[in-house]
Amino acid sequence: MANTYRDSGRAGLGNAEEFVDILEKRRCSSDLGYALRTYSPSPYKGAPSCSTADLNKAVLESQYLRYVVKEIATETGSSVEDVRQEVCRTLEEMSQNLQLGSIRLMAYTLTKVFRRIFTGIFLQQAVQESPVILMPNHRSYVDFLVISYIMYTYDIPLPVIAAALAGMKMVGEILRRSGAFFIRRAIGSDKLYWAVLSEYVKTIVRKGFAPLEFYVEGLRSRTLKSQMPKLGMMHMVLEPYFKGEVYDITLVPISISYDRVLEESLLAHELLGIPKPKESTTGLLKATKVLREDYGNMHVNFGRPMSVRHLCQGQINRCQYNLIPRDLPQKPSAETQACVSGLANLMVRIQEEGSLISPWSLMACLLLQAPTTVLTQEGLLWRQFTEKTLWLRKLALDFGARLNWPGQVPDLHVMSSTVTLHQSVVHLKAGRVYLVREEEPARKHPISPELDLIRTAAGVLMLASYRNQSLHVFVRPAMLATAIRVTKSAQKDELSAFFCFLRDIFSNEFIFIPGRSSQDFEEACFLLNKCGAVDVSELEVTVSDAGLEVLSFLQALLQPFIHSYQVMFRYLCEDGVNVFTEKQLLPAVRNLATKLILSGELHTYEALSSDTQKNVLLALQRLETVTKLRDSVALFVPPILLAVHLREEVGLDGAQRGRQHVETSLEHVAEGGAHAERSAHHVGHRLTHHTHALQEVQRAFPGQGLALVEEAALDRGGLGMVDEVSRAVGEVGGGPAQREKSQVQVTCSFGQSMEEQPQLKHGVAWR
């Protein structure tokens, strides 16, 4: 696995084994004494002292916020004073109120809780100076607490933490006094709220008030897999540097790894569409049963501080910010957006590389490759399973993984104790490993097949979440292994093309740094060659005799994602619904996946996951197949989607079959005859992007080609497709007058004329 620290021009992590258990001293000392000890953190170098009141005053008096207040007052017809009062209320709701007494209470309480639920909290001591921006990954609610706990332990200034506004007043106030500032979950297009939040964050950075902690992934990952970074907060944090208001900003990526997460069952049910319990203080008090469980170890790895000034060198021209007064709102340029996106993805990749992979994650990878019926009914032989786990451990080490595998403990004991820790997911009985199904609730009537399926699916999704913790190690070699299987080619250029195709499709599923597709391909080649699975030359990648086992494992690792994406593609291609909301789509796709599983056509329970379904939507939006609107959605299925929508294979075979269908249709169009009109429709809704197809339709049906293709486009893809086809046909021979005529004649199925519809780039939109 490539070292992203080295690639970014910075030194990498130190010795991966240099972890210290910060709970060790707490077990042999007074909790009260620890909480009441002298806490004297070193202030930032050169940072003037600033109280919470001073910080809020600076935000309210900023020229930027004054400008926005006047602008909104003009737009809404409100008085400036009314808008200013709204700003004050928003800031009061949002701001932190850091107090030492609350910090001591938190330290006392967390010491008792952490000692009960964790065997140890291990810290990789790379914290040598006060950082500015702390960027941990987000896997559990505990993330929020443990960073502050560590900072208090090491006399480092406690961070102010961006947190989602929850409905727990008492707990919320305690957290606010411990450094949390709260952000509404749904901000939408609230211009005033965005302005207050942005100025609050930028003022914290400019004044060096305290370290700022936020989750670049946004929300907590329900799959324990890294998520695509959210760029809003990242833009706010970096803007003071871009505008020259600070000389530099230090980013500290933090990797938090859990042997077992507290919310494992809750997360699986959320993925199955079961709403999580409402957050409340009462609910928190009722959740004390977690104190009776063992959650193993937690590892916290602070990466080396990284200079934004260094990382942005040669990537962005800051002179552009000199053209507009600093206090005026300024839309980020394409160059700035690309730079911020690259930095955000880099931080997430470093978080991945800094995480420790537990034995359980490797075991989960193997368990999920067995048929579900075997896991629930027959079980896996323990002896064979442990042998395969040790084989996978070696492969993971060859790929550069950082493993949390105790070297001084016998391997069999490590694996058996791991299964014991995760007895909520699997259990060992009579020399076989079984998947634990949820207990069937007491009921008068027999459980339905659909509800019975959920009992199994919850266990599978919990298992998949732990597998996901190690996916970043294997995903690039797995994509190359899939390319080798599908293309059946040894040519490096063909394999690279298909690798990049998969990378595009899965760019919302896995973390890839933009613009590094060739490096990712070369990394995959290097790793497969390193483990002896392939031989790599300048032009070819050939499979070695010893590599079949490795390639088979890697191909199977990616199959659940391919099958899950195919279910979504199948629904979009076959359902015929062009306009939908996300709330309508996800249950519909889940219902389709449920039917396919019950019929035996599909064996991938992960297709039921709402997060995977959302990732498919985001990928299709990025590929301009799906268009998101404020109010509606329309669907267009282009060749790249058809290439993936296959029953058994993914990629080139489907694309070739699609081309054959189009070529046959074009022959029919050119010949004319009874079926020519149907063929024109086929061409219209299959490959409207292809200029050649449009030219043939125009040639076969002079004066009618546009209308025929637009009719097919509307039937299949809605107005967005009609607009795109009309534009394309106009470019190859359809005149403006003809274009305008058809636009007036075409009406859509939901009762609006094309002139009343918003412009779509290609097709689907969702509310």
More confident residue, 684 or 398: 398
pLDDT at residue number 440: 73
Query: Residue 475 pLDDT more than 50?
Result: yes
User: If we measure between CA atoms, which residue out of 175, 243, 252, 212 comes closest to residue 47?
Assistant: 212
Specify the pLDDT at position 9.
34
- Reference 236, options 466, 59, 15; nearest CA is 59
Q: Is the pLDDT of residue 252 over 90?
A: yes
- State the burial class of residue 767 (Cβ atoms within 10 Å of its Cβ: 0-12, 13-18, 19+): middle
**What is the C-alpha to C-alpha distance for residues 514 and 536, in angstroms, rounded to an integer?**
25
Q: Look up residue 390 and give its amino acid.
A: L
- C-alpha 694/C-alpha 728 separation (Å) is 8
Structure confidence at residue 168 (pLDDT): 66
Domain ranges of the chain: 49-354, 359-468, 652-766
Encode pLDDT of 142-159 as tens digits: 888 899 999 898 888 889
Encode pLDDT of 30-54 as tens digits. 888 888 888 877 765 556 667 888 9
- What pLDDT does residue 544 have? 92
361-390 confidence digits (pLDDT tens): 999 999 999 999 999 999 999 999 999 999
The larger pLDDT score, comparing residue 196 to residue 656, is at 196
Strands (DSSP E) contained in 553-650 are 579-580
Supply the pTM of this predicted model. 0.80
pLDDT digits (tens, 9 = 90+) for 265-293: 999 999 999 887 776 656 665 566 777 88
Measured distance CA(471)–CA(505) in Å, rounded: 16
Q: Which residues contact 703 (CB under 8 A, 6 or more apart)?
A: 738
- Specify the pLDDT at position 279: 64
pLDDT given for residue 577 in this prediction: 61
For 717-740, the pLDDT digits (tens) are 444 444 444 444 444 333 333 333
Residue 694: is its pLDDT beyond 50? no
User: Among residues 622, 576, 615, 569, which one has the least CA distance to residue 593?
Assistant: 569
Q: Using an 8 Å Cβ cutoff, are 668 and 674 in contact? A: no
The dihedral through the CA atoms of 557, 559, 562, 567 has a sign that is negative
Beta bridge partners of 765: 579
Q: Identify the CA nearest to 176 among candidates 92, 234, 88.
A: 92
Name which residue leads in pLDDT, 644 or 176.
176
Q: Give tens-digit pLDDT for 515-536.
A: 999 999 999 999 999 999 999 9
- Rounded to 5°, the CA angle 7-12-14 comes to 165
Rounded distance between C-alpha atoms, residue 738 and residue 146, angstroms:
66
Per-residue confidence at 175, pLDDT binned at 50, 70, 90?
A: confident
Q: What pLDDT shows up at residue 4?
A: 43
Mean pLDDT of 173-201: 86
For residue 283, the model assigns a pLDDT of 62
Residue 488 near residue 246 (C-beta atoms within 8 A): no
> Which region among 174-188, 307-321, 450-464, 744-758 has the lowest average model confidence (pLDDT)?
744-758
In angstroms, rounded to a whole number, what is the distance separating the alpha carbons of residues 425 and 763? Answer: 42
Of 744 and 419, which is predicted with more confidence?
A: 419
pLDDT at 407: 86
Computed over every residue of the chain, the mean pLDDT equals 79
Which of 16-25, 347-356, 392-401 shows the lowest per-residue confidence on average (mean pLDDT)?
16-25
Mean pLDDT in residue range 708-715: 46
Per-residue pLDDT at 631 = 52
Mean pLDDT over residues 348-357, rounded? 95
Rounded mean pLDDT of 224-236? 94
pLDDT at residue 155, rounded to an integer:
86
pLDDT band at 633 (very low <50, low <70, confident <90, very high): very low
> At a CB cut-off of 8 Å and minimum separation 6, what does 317 contact?
335
If phi over 0 gives left and psi between -120 and 50 gives alpha, with beta otherwise, what is residue 10? beta
Token digits of residue 276? 């999580």
- Write down the pLDDT at residue 249: 92
Q: Which residue has the higher pLDDT, 640 or 18?
A: 18
* Residue-level pLDDT at 498: 93
What pLDDT, on the 0 to 100 scale, is given for residue 312?
92
CA distance 569 to 561: 12
Torsion of CA 161, 167, 173, 175, to 10 degrees: -30
* Apex 622 CA angle, 621 and 623, nearest 5: 90
